[in-house]
Structures are given as structure tokens and as C-alpha cells.
Amino acid sequence: MTHAQRPLSARPTEALSGTALVPGDKSMSHRSLMLGLLAAGETRVTGLLEGADVLATAAACRQLGAGIERGPDGAWTVWGRGLGGLAEPADVLDMGNSGTAARLLLGILAGHPLFAVLTGDASLRRRPMGRVTEPLGQMGAHFATREGGRLPLAVTGARRALPLAYRLPVASAQVKSAILLAGLMAPGTTTVIEPAPTRDHSERMLRYLGATVVSEDRADGRHVMLTGEPELTARPFRVTADPSSAAFPAVAALLLPGSRVVLPGVGMNPLRRGLYDTLVEMGARIAFTNPREEGGEPVADLVVEGGPLRGVTVPAERAPSMIDEYPILAVAAAFAEGRTAMHGLAELRVKESDRLAAVARGLAACGVDFEEGPDSLIVHGSGGRRLRGTHNAAVETAMDHRIAMAFLVLGLASERGVTVDDTGFIDTSFPGFTALMQGLGALLEPA
Ligand code: S3P
């Protein structure tokens, strides 16, 4: 499939102001649709992210037999098939750019005795799937994959799935979730042991539908134990605003003195808020107002004001709670006073792009002083001075939405502006990003 590139320029901008509603959480949106498929009956989803990644999940769930429709009020309804009731897909399932969609769906397929073929775009076809096919194979599914366990792959799910106790070699909520979703079809207890806790949306949402999922912190890590073959009762999901998307307008406001931006209802799950904790350590003026619970998740209205930041060391242990936020943290660090060191970044190399390399290329193109290690990044900040930006060149987005958004934010705080070569992928996670930022006063224009 060819894809026409959509370049965009961020021009130097004075200050941002206003209130912006960030779209729904990507992780919760994928899970709402997939759990809606697995629960018999009707699931109503409000606040669903209508980005390309989630629409790929919706299409795949339809191919597996779910009815899925968007109502005139913007709420979505899923008519589920119930555990064990999936239809065999008549065609290849195309998961687009989304690792979450591909890996979680493989968990569901592994527990159902069906044949399915999965593929994705050029970025997803480069990403490792062995991390899920290996444990799911132990549960009884069969896979035929391209070299290196990559997509396209074919799966034949287990006729009778086996429960598994599995220690994750890397901290990954996607792998944990895939195993738990397969475990729904297995008798007895399926246990995932995490080296470090990762986002727990799957556990929260499964419990909400009536499954028994127990998490215990032990000396060797967090044990997440699911009791198989539950009755899943369809119940409505309310998706909160995505903290990973809110990070872009939030950091833009921090970097532009005089800014004041309000971001209502942003998810503040403790396993997702590592960036915000880091920014506060850096001296950021962020107020977490009106804290409350929505859709089974803690949320707050963020009030962000521009002001100086200072460099910090971000420990490796924090990486799982901010794994998607390093590109925008690197941009914030580029304007801080002193040095910001980020450790434990190996997983960034297998995201939508090799994100560490893509961040490094972008920082170099914009005149930032940094050191890239195999799993670390050290950024020497400008102390609040505007950075050069790109000049007659563009930041390469490498099919990665977060690289595009992070460097557009840098451009707003630069002297000459920044052009990114392709903003098409922003729609995977943050449809309406450009309009939302323009509404706050950001100067974004076609290059
Ligand atoms: C996600 C988990 C993370 C994250 C991704 C969404 C999820 O991936 O990067 O954007 O919804 O479970 P890993 O689990 O592979 O780290």
C-alpha cells in the first residue's frame, strides 16, 4: 500500500492558552472492543479513541463475529460473541500500525480453535511477535511466522487451552495481556510474573466484567493470577482521556512561557503517570486538580503553565510507567537547565520505530546536544533558550506518530521552526492533534 507523505511545520509560537479535550486512551479503547467481543451481549463504550489503531481492532473484532457500530451520540456499541463463540475470520486480519492490537488479539485467537492470518503495515511487520507466540504456543496454539517471528503470521488456536505460569522476559503489558486473554479460555489459574509492574488496564477491565484477577507483589516480581473460564458479563466502558496523548499539549505549554492550558479528565493510573512525576521533579508547573475516579481509573484535570525546567535522572525502574513518553520527555529535556539522563530504554528500539534512534536523529536535526547509548539517552538542555530547529530539512518520523508529535512540539519552542516529513501516522493515536494544538494557539501549518 502506498502512502502519500503529509509534511507539517511548527512555527515559533509565543504562548498557548485554553482548554483542550484530549481523545480517549488507546490502551483502554483496544481493550473495550476486545472485551466487548468476548462478553456475550451488548457493550456500550463512551469516549472511545477513534484513531486508526483502534479502528483496526474494531475491524478485526467484526471479522471475528462481533457487531460494532458508532451511534449518532459518538458512543460505540459492541454486540459480543461470548468466550469461545468467535467466528473464524474469512480473510486476513490487518492490524495496521498497532502492536497492541496485534499482540492482544493473538492472545484471544490462541485460546479459540480457529485459523487466522495477521498482518500489518511496514512498521508493524518489523516488530517482534515471538514475545507473544512463545508463551501462547506453550498454552497450545500453533503459529507459522516469518523469519524472526514477524508478521504476517498464521495462528491456529488451541482446541483446549492450557493454563500457564510465565515469567515475562521484558516488562510488557502487551505480552501480559495476551497471556491473560488466552488464559480466559484455559481451565485453572494462569499466572504472569512481571519483572516490573506494567499498565494494568486489562486486569482492571477483566475484574469489572466479573473475572477473578489477583495481583500480588512478591520478592521476584508482581504475580498476576487469572482464574480461567469466567462468566464475562457485558457492562458499559467509559474510556478516559489518554495521558500519553495529553503529554504533547502539556509539554508544549511547559516550554512556552506565559502559557496556561487545561486538559480535563486525563487518566492518572499510577502505572501510566511516570512522565508527569518526572516533569514535576523537573520543576514543571502542573496542577492535578479535581482528582476523581472515572471508568474504574483515577483521572484529574491538568492545569499546565509555562516555566523553567531543570535536568533530572530518570531511573530505569520508571520506564514501564512512561514507556511511550520518552520522545516528548527528550524534547522537554532539550529545554531544561542542565543534563537529563534516561535509563532502561532498550524497549524503545522495538516500538513503532526504533524510537531511540528516531529521537536521536530528530534531536540532531534540531541542534540539540545529546548522547545516545544502547539503552540510554542523555540530553544537555538549553536552559530555556529557544533551540535552532530544522532548516531546509525535515525530521524523519519513521512511521511513528509519537516522533512526529514530539518534534512538532519542539518546533513551537524553536527559533526557526521544525518540519516533520510525515504527520499521517498521528491519526493512529491522536486524530485531531493538529486542530487541537492550533486551537490552543500553536502555529502549525502545511510545509
Ligand atoms: C500498551 C503497552 C505498551 C505501550 C503501547 C500500549 C498496551 O507496549 O508501548 O503503546 O496497551 O498494553 P509494551 O507492552 O510492548 O511495552
Chain-centre distance for alpha carbon 123: 15
> 245 CA distance to ligand 1 centroid (A)?
14
Active site positions, annotated: 324
- Is residue 409 exposed (0-12), middle (13-18) or buried (19+ Cβ within 10 Å)? buried
> 387 CA distance to ligand 1 centroid (A)?
31
Atom index in ligand 1 nearest the CA of residue 323 equals 9
pTM exceeding the 0.95 threshold for the entire prediction = yes
Task: Specify which residues 299 forms β-bridges with.
Answer: 267, 292
Mutate to test the pocket of ligand 1, among 174, 205, 269, 351 (most ligand atoms within 8 A of CB): 174
352 contacts 99 by C-beta, under 8 angstroms: yes
Calpha distance 225→285 (Å, rounded): 39
The per-residue DSSP string of 386-441 comes to PB---SS--B--TT-HHHHHHHHHHHHTBSS-EEES--GGGGGT-TTHHHHHHHTT
> 330 CA distance to ligand 1 centroid (A)?
19
Atom index in ligand 1 nearest the CA of residue 175 equals 14
Torsion, Cα of 73, 75, 80, 82 (10° steps): -140
> 120 CA distance to ligand 1 centroid (A)?
16
> 434 CA distance to ligand 1 centroid (A)?
24
- How many angstroms separate the Cα of 226 from the Cα of each of 172, 202, 206, 234, 235? 17, 11, 9, 18, 19
Write out the three cell numbers for 86. Answer: 468467535
- Is residue 231 exposed (0-12), middle (13-18) or buried (19+ Cβ within 10 Å)? exposed
Atom index in ligand 1 nearest the CA of residue 26 equals 11
> 321 CA distance to ligand 1 centroid (A)?
10
- Amino acid 2: pLDDT: 52
**Tens of pLDDT along the chain (447 residues)?**
457 899 999 999 999 999 999 999 999 999 999 999 999 999 999 999 999 999 999 999 999 999 999 999 999 999 999 999 999 999 999 999 999 999 999 999 999 999 999 999 999 999 999 999 999 999 999 999 999 999 999 999 999 999 999 999 999 999 999 999 999 999 999 999 999 999 999 999 999 999 999 999 999 999 999 999 999 999 999 999 999 999 999 999 999 999 999 999 999 999 999 999 999 999 999 999 999 999 899 999 999 999 999 999 999 999 999 999 999 999 999 999 999 999 999 999 999 999 999 999 999 999 999 999 999 999 999 999 999 999 878 999 999 999 999 999 999 999 999 999 999 999 999 999 999 999 999 999 999
By three-state DSSP, how is residue 85 classified? Answer: coil
- Enumerate residues lining ligand 1, CB below 6 A: 27, 100, 172-174, 177, 199, 323-324, 347
- Amino acid 1: pLDDT: 43
Residue that the C-alpha cell 502542573 belongs to: 286
- Amino acid 174: pLDDT: 98
357 contacts 134 by C-beta, under 8 angstroms: no
Calpha distance 110→388 (Å, rounded): 50
Atom index in ligand 1 nearest the CA of residue 170 equals 16
Write out the three cell numbers for 322. Answer: 512512561
Q: Which helix (H) or strand (E) holds 366?
A: none
